[in-house]
Homo-oligomer: A and B are copies of this chain.
Amino acid sequence: MSYRAKVPKPTVKRLSLYLRELEHRVEQKQPTISSRQLGDALGLTDAQVRKDLAYFGQFGHPGIGYDVTNLVDRLRKILGTDRTWNTALIGAGNLGRALMAYGGWQQRGFDIVAVFDQNPDLVGQWLENHRIRPMSDLAMLVKERDIRLAMIAVPADRAQEVADRLIAAGVRGILNFAPRRLDVHQAVSISSVDLALSLEQLAFQVSLGLLGSLDEDDD
């Protein structure tokens, strides 16, 4: 099932927010939710909520809204959160260690099943419950452990090479933490976490006198 070229990227980004809010409402045993309620909770207009959910064929009933449990089930299925994603971590330095210690991966459906590093001093050591593997084991383990996603936590000058090896090994999605834009030729899905960019945007907020959170999109 492909929604390619149909679902805009900002909508993809908002889906996490919808899902989290709806799961919260399921816990509270709320049976239905209107687009306005959902929008109010997330700082979005009700029109934006309706438009986003319509991409997935989800339409609320006028005067009633959406069936919360049904909407959660449908979104989970569409978004693949009803399965576990086997994930690799590349780079066992401070950032890699921070990512391992971060917690919450499992509960969000991610299982870090292998950790790699090119440094021979680190290979063979244990990081949490993983023995750090050499990069030469990458292709084999991606296949053997059905690894779909990978997080790149290596220095910037090695990131492209690591991405190329991940793609060759058959990984489907790459989350890049290195401060370097990667060229992946539309071969995989990719997303970057640019830590300095986040701080820069925060500084802009301060400069522009914008208070509160930048996290909720209001477009």
Other-chain contact of A151, B102, B181, B199 (Cβ < 8 Å): B199
Contact with B along A77-114 (1 / 0, CB 8 A): 01111000101000001110111011111001110000
Query: Which residues of the partner chain B approach A12 to less than 8 Å between Cβ atoms?
Result: 201, 204-205, 208, 210, 214
A29 interface contact, C-beta 8 A? no
- B206 engages A149 (CB within 8 Å): yes
Chain B residue at minimal CB-CB distance from A95 = B98
Query: Which residues of the partner chain B approach A140 to less than 8 Å between Cβ atoms?
Result: none
| The stretch of A31-39, A118-126, A171-179 that contacts the partner chain | A171-179
Other-chain contact of A205, B81, B87, B101, B189 (Cβ < 8 Å): B189
Q: How far, in angstroms, from A197 to B172 measured CA to CA in the complex?
A: 17
| The stretch of A3-11, A57-65, A66-74 that contacts the partner chain | A3-11
State the main secondary structure of chain A at its contact with B. Answer: mixed
- A191 engages B202 (CB within 8 Å): yes
- B149 engages A219 (CB within 8 Å): no
Q: How far, in angstroms, from A195 to B174 measured CA to CA in the complex?
A: 13
- B199 engages A87 (CB within 8 Å): yes
Other-chain contact of A207, B78, B103, B151, B205 (Cβ < 8 Å): B78
A188 interface contact, C-beta 8 A? yes
Query: Which residues of the partner chain B approach A28 to less than 8 Å between Cβ atoms?
Result: none
- B16 engages A81 (CB within 8 Å): no
Copies in the complex: 2
- A97 engages B94 (CB within 8 Å): yes
Query: Which residues of the partner chain B approach A110 to less than 8 Å between Cβ atoms?
Result: 196, 199-200, 203
Q: Contacts A212-B184, A212-B186 hold; do A8 and B218 have CB atoms under 8 A apart?
A: yes
A129 interface contact, C-beta 8 A? no
Query: Which residues of the partner chain B approach A80 to less than 8 Å between Cβ atoms?
Result: 203-204, 206-207
Q: Contacts A201-B16, A208-B12, A212-B190 hold; do A195 and B94 have CB atoms under 8 A apart?
A: no
Q: How far, in angstroms, from A209 to B7 measured CA to CA in the complex?
A: 10
Other-chain contact of A198, B191, B209, B213 (Cβ < 8 Å): B191
